[in-house]
Structure 1
Amino acid sequence: MTLPSLRQLQYLVALHAHQHFGRAADACNVTQSTLSAGLKELEMVLGVRLVERTRRVIVFTATGLGVVRRAEDLLQQARDLSAVRHIGPEPLAGAIRLSITPTVAPFLLPRILGSIRRTYPALEFVVHEEVSQAGFAGLSSGARDCMILARRDDGGDFEYGALFEDPIMVAMRSDDPIAQRSSIRPEDLSSDRLFLPHEVGGLLDSARLAGHRLDDGPKAAPSASIHTLVQLVNAGMGAMLLPQMAVESGVTAGTEVVTRPLAGPPARRVIALAWRRNSPLREGFTRLAGKIRELYQGPPLVAAA
């Protein structure tokens, strides 16, 4: 039986990603004629039409789309298999491409990186700070090895190691009328005065899951960082949901911003380390998650406001 080659599958996946023969060929570092010939050979091996070619558009058949999904899985498994050669007796060694979300990175990394490097001197992190959607895409494609994020219950092809829980606080100026309360009721947070960091879902979903009801239309600042939003709050422009880990890192230091918990059931997010289920580095990531848990149990960097 003649089997399709990984190279042929790579051509198919690239064409689906780029929807253009020339760009797909460039991505595969081959000529357009080589890519086209490889796709025709793939169709001959499988005995089915995968792509309908016209002068202006590329249309994948229903069978072709199914083959693309299977090809993506096979190519990822091949990349994982190739990574086995880098695994020695120490599973945490070499370069690890780490994705980490912006609402976690500046508050967690200073707390753990030094100790991790001392514990695993042969380990090198290549850090990519990016939103979770980009991180998951990188994990799926093999461009990232693992990811630290506020976990959601999306399951999928990823495995998680829970690191710690991060309470969600409400931040406002000290002269804000609601700042006089020991806790803030959700009904006090109207959408016209509530800021949320870029990774809205992790914070807002955490509050909702804890039984709180917050408005669906938080004040717009879609690309602002937590540090920037704190300054907006300090200027009296509204309130915000703020992770406790950011408070502990001193993000409100030197401002008139104070924090209060939400009234009712605690609102919190779960920070987790994620990796592909079939990753050959699974043992190392499990060990890394345990080390991060251990490190984060230490005293906070700065006392909470």
Structure 2
Amino acid sequence: MNLPSVRQLECLVAVEKTRHFGRAAEACFITQPALSHQIQQLEGRLGLTLFERDRRRVVPTRAGEALAARARSILGDLRDFSDSAAAFTEPLSGPLRLGVIPTVAPYVLPRTLGVLRNRHPGLELTLREGQTAELVRELFEGNLDVLFLAREADLGGARTLDISRDPFLLAVPTTHPLASRKRARESDLDGEEVLLLEDGHCLRDQALTVCDAAGATELGNFRASSLATLLRLVESGLGVTLLPRISVEAETGPGRSLCVIPFPKNGPARALCLAWRPHALRSGEYKLLGETLRAAIDDRSGH
């Protein structure tokens, strides 16, 4: 069987993404005529027209769009195959592309990266911070190797490894009637106006589920892009919010007009996990990475 080459798959993906032969050629580090030749060869090999093109635009056909998605997955598997070779000489070495959500990255990674560097000096780690849906798409397109995020989100069938349970705490201004409480109950949220992160953050969806069940109302005119901004709004007396425990040390402290109140042990929480493609060859290494992350979180939590 006369199979497509890796270069042809790369060109297919680049053209489908950019919808422009010139920009696709730049992305593939080849000339435009060379890229056009690769696409023509691929179309001839497959017996399909992959793109409709004229002088003004390039539009993928139904076959072109579907096969470009498949090509992304194949290229991701090839990169994974190449990277996994290093594991046979030294675990957690070579390139590793880690995607992390914004409500986890600043609270866990600073402490973890130093430990990883010391334990696995051959690891070439690349970090990508982004919202869940974006990271999951990048994972299955082969642009990321493993994700660190909340398991409650839609992970598209990725394989997961639980790292830690991250309880929510109730954050209220110091003038709030609940500020003197040592423990909060979910029922305390009934009738409260709750401040949440903007759309796209999985923490928003998880907190909204808790708040809806308790009878709270979202203050929809105010949506923050970060926990730091969210807490400033709480301090100003606009409402209350739910705060993940891993962020408390960094986001609260002396001088803040905030009270952070824990729920009972079985109260609302999210599950932090690693996620990777189901057939990834480096799953054993991801488990080693999980051990390091788990130790860092347990140390921060005082476990």
SS in 2 for 1:221: strand
Amino acid in structure 2 at the alignment position of 1:279:
A
Q: CA deviation at 1:46?
A: 1.0
1:298 matched residue in structure 2:
299
Report the Cα distance in structure 2 between the residues aligned to 1:42 and 1:123, rounded to whole angstroms.
36
1:43 and 1:152, CA in 2 relative to 1: closer, same or farther beyond 3 A? same
SS in 2 for 1:102: coil
Structure 1 residue 104, shift from structure 2 partner: 0.9
Aligned AA (2:147): M
Per the normalisation by structure 2, the TM-score is: 0.85
Structure 2 partner of 1:266:
267
The C-alpha deviation readout for 1:49-96, integer Å capped at 9, x for no partner, is 222222323232222222222222222222222223333332112343
Matched-pair contact (CA < 8 Å) for 1:103–1:197: no
Contact residue 111 and residue 296 of structure 1 kept, 8 A: no
Separation (CA, whole Å) in 2 of partners of 1:169 and 1:222: 18
State how far apart, in whole Å, the 1-side matches of 2:79 and 2:300 are: 40
Q: Distance in 2 between matches of 1:289 and 1:296?
A: 11
Aligned: 1:188 with 2:195: no
Query: Structure 2 stretches of 5 or more lacking a match?
Result: none
- 1:232 alignment counterpart: 233
Identity across aligned pairs (percent)?
Answer: 33
Contact 1:99 1:148 in 2 (8 A): yes
- Give RMSD over aligned pairs: 2.9
The amino acid across from 1:65 in the alignment is E
Q: Which residue of 2 aligns with 1:120?
A: 120
State whether residues 99 and 127 of structure 1, in contact with CA within 8 Å, keep that contact through their aligned partners in structure 2: yes
What letter corresponds to residue 189 of structure 2 in structure 1?
P
Correspondence 1:82-161 to 2 at 5 A: 82-156=82-156, 158-161=158-161
Q: TM-score, normalization: structure 1?
A: 0.84
Q: Is the 8 A contact 2:196 2:224 kept in 1?
A: no
Q: Which residue of 1 aligns with 2:223?
A: 221
Q: 1:204 to 1:50 in 2, by over 3 A?
A: closer
Q: How many residues align?
A: 298
Q: Give 5+ residue unaligned stretches, structure 1.
A: none
Q: Residues 71 and 117 (structure 1 numbering): CA distance in 2 closer, same or farther, change over 3 Å?
A: closer
* 1:264-305 Cα deviation digits (max 9, x unpaired): 97211111112222333211101221332244333637x9xx
- CA gap 1:251/1:87 in 2 versus in 1, 3 angstroms: same
2:71 aligns to what? 71
Identify the range of structure 1 (115-124 vs 162-171) with the bigger mean alpha-carbon deviation. 115-124
Q: Aligned equivalents of 2:207 and 2:18: distance in 1?
A: 36
3-state secondary structure, aligned to 1:277: coil
- Secondary structure, aligned partner of 2:190: helix
Could you tell me which residue of structure 1 aligns to residue 16 of structure 2?
Answer: 16
1:119 & 1:39 partners in 2: Cα distance?
45
